Amino acid sequence: MPRLFGTDGIRGMANVDLKPTLAYALGRATAHRLAGPGRPIVVGQDTRRSGDMFAAAIVAGATSMGVDVHLVGVVPTPALSYITGAGNFAAGIMVSASHNPARDNGLKVLDEHGLKLDEDVEDELEQLIWTSDELPGAAADALGLAVQDHGLFELYVKHRLELAAATPTRLHLVIDCANGSGGGAAARILEATGARVEVLFNDPDGTNINADCGATAPGALAREVVARGADVGFALDGDADRLIAVDASGCVVDGDAVLGVLALDRLARNRLPNGALVVSILSNGGLQKVVEAAGGQIIQTPVGDKYIFEGMLVNGAGLGGEKSGHVIILEHTSSGDGIVTALEILGVMTRSGRSLADLAAQVPMLPQQQRAIPARHKDQWEGDPVIRKAIARAESRLGAAGRVLVRPSGTEPAIRVMVEGPDSDLVVELADELAALAGERLN
């Protein structure tokens, strides 16, 4: 039986392979393993239509175990993380599939500090999910209560407003809220810097989250930044834990470039603990060269922001993140937060007096191509000799300066292929070839 928990919680197509019965079982399992009398659970969600269904199922499960559940409504994932850690909560559960389309949803469990769970705790929860009906429930007079507690969101907003006030700027920016859960606070926080803020894609209807907008599709933002003469654009994803930037000319500045800009700024100010930047194995080789040339060090982890966070703790690092736009800045937050990342970029631009294009030009990237291929048998690629031989041939053609990385997605039924090297045309050719082969062999 495949593992329920991927790199970012439990994901699936809502009401198809991710059913409310699973959310109910998770509510019971979380209450049994992590909570107890007087230690409630807090639940948030993004703007997907299926969010109410899953939140209700979690409530039913946890309250059946005698545990209260506080519902904060639609909030960014980093907001739920902050609320969980700041309050007297035994755990938090976020109902969100992040950057995935609206048909999907997900269940992310956080510990009492608002952090993602260790894998051994996830394994325990998984076993409890499968046997949740056998767990002893509460008597009728000891059932938990569902508490509507939307005011808790203001705890998060207040903290981020304080960060914004410490980042004064007069820049003109455009924010793409991806029709997601960041729209309730992003503009208010960014305006607190003194910036002129224009907002796009902040009209969620339950089905348009991440639809041709947001961090996974920044093209519309890029066009609007140019059309409106803005200094910079920011694109959140559906739950606002990642951010992709756009410079004034409409060029996309991805997570690797943003990390490079922040790391170089902090190295220059002696504000990068241990000179360390923690990145995933997907991060561009160009980023490593630039950071090391500036006197810093790169530490690599597996893909997934929880591994980035663990790597930061182990190595005493204060900055880490991924190409996808997850950025963790430990002095401000223990999770990726696209709004905080935007504040950091505004700070660098304002202090330096330089455009984002100029700052990003300090971090030249090697040509890199990534492909996500739908795959019913995504975990079988390593055992396929045809795929292994094709990877070996690709690596030979790229030479020592290039690399190939193939891995199953931790959030979708897909195989992911990354090819990097100095020859752009060859990188595209090999990425397309490997993607086509994976599609044929794994479906």
Is 181 labeled as catalytic in the residue annotation?
Answer: no
Cβ neighbours of residue 351 under 8 Å, at least 6 residues apart? 265
d(CA 160, CA 428): 40
Secondary structure (3-state) at 245: strand
Extended strands (E) in 281-326: 297-301, 319-321
Determine which one of 50, 64, 98, 181 is catalytic.
98
Token match 């997601």: residue? Answer: 180
d(CA 439, CA 443): 6
Give the neighbor-by-neighbor strand order of the sheet with 368-374: 368-374, 414-420, 403-408
d(CA 92, CA 438): 37
In whole angstroms, what separates CA 183 from the centre of its chain?
16
Q: SS3 string of 22-39?
A: HHHHHHHHHHHHHCECCE
Structure tokens at 443: 């479906």
Residue 104 identity: D
Dihedral sign, Cα of residue 301, residue 306, residue 308, residue 312: negative
d(CA 279, CA 267): 16
- Residue 345, burial from CB neighbour count under 10 angstroms (0-12, 13-18, 19+): buried
Structure tokens at 352: 């330096």
Helix H or strand E segment including 153: helix 153-165
Share in percent of the chain as helix, strand, coil (round to 5):
40, 20, 35
Q: Which of 298-320 are b and which e, b meaning 16 or more Cβ less than 10 Å from the residue's Cβ?
A: bbebebbbbbbbbbbeebebbbb
Contact (CB, 8 A) for 306 and 207: no
Residue 173 identity: L
The partner residues of 406 in beta bridges, in order of sequence, read 417
Contact (CB, 8 A) for 111 and 125: no
DSSP state of 264: H
Cβ neighbours of residue 222 under 8 Å, at least 6 residues apart? 233, 246, 250, 251, 252
Give catalytic residue positions: 98
